[in-house]
């Protein structure tokens, strides 16, 4: 935010104890120290390394292995559900998934399109 916002006590209580998948549980975080020179290069390199590590995890339920598994499974799912088109699979992702899950799902659809040789609408 580019400007300061003030909250009433009731609004602050509502925000601090919000419900959801990862609720804040009343915890508040704020910067204690802000350095004058911020080294973005180091942060970017660390972020890329962490992302690569997570995407190349040995567990088949996350990362690249999961994308490959889903890409291989989509044709099987399409055969099981012949009444629904492949476009409805991406529609489900649009409605239910958010953030990175949605991007990964779209990438999996893209991989499936490439592997099946069909033309998919982005």
106 membership: H or E segment, kind and range: helix 100-116
> What pLDDT shows up at residue 88?
52
What mean pLDDT value characterizes the chain?
75
Q: Is 90 or 64 the better-scoring residue by pLDDT?
A: 64
Q: Do 122 and 112 contact (CB within 8 A), yes or no?
A: no
Q: Is 121 or 47 the better-scoring residue by pLDDT?
A: 47
Q: Do 71 and 115 contact (CB within 8 A), yes or no?
A: yes
Residue 45: pLDDT band (50, 70, 90) is: very high
d(CA 31, CA 27): 14
| Region for 110 from its dihedrals, namely left if φ exceeds 0, alpha if ψ lies in -120 to 50, beta otherwise | alpha
């Amino acid at each position: 935010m580019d400007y300061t916002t003030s909250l009433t006590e009731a609004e602050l209580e509502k925000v601090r104890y919000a419900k959801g998948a990862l609720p804040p549980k009343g915890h508040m975080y704020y910067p204690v120290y802000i350095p004058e020179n911020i080294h973005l290069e180091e942060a970017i390199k660390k972020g890329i390394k962490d992302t690569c590590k997570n995407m190349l995890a040995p567990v088949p339920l996350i990362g690249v292995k999961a994308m490959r598994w889903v890409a291989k499974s989509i044709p099987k799912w399409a055969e099981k559900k012949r009444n629904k088109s492949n476009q409805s699979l991406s529609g489900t992702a649009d409605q239910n998934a958010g953030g990175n899950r949605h991007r990964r799902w779209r990438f999996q659809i893209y991989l499936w399109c490439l592997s099946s040789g069909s033309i998919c609408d982005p």
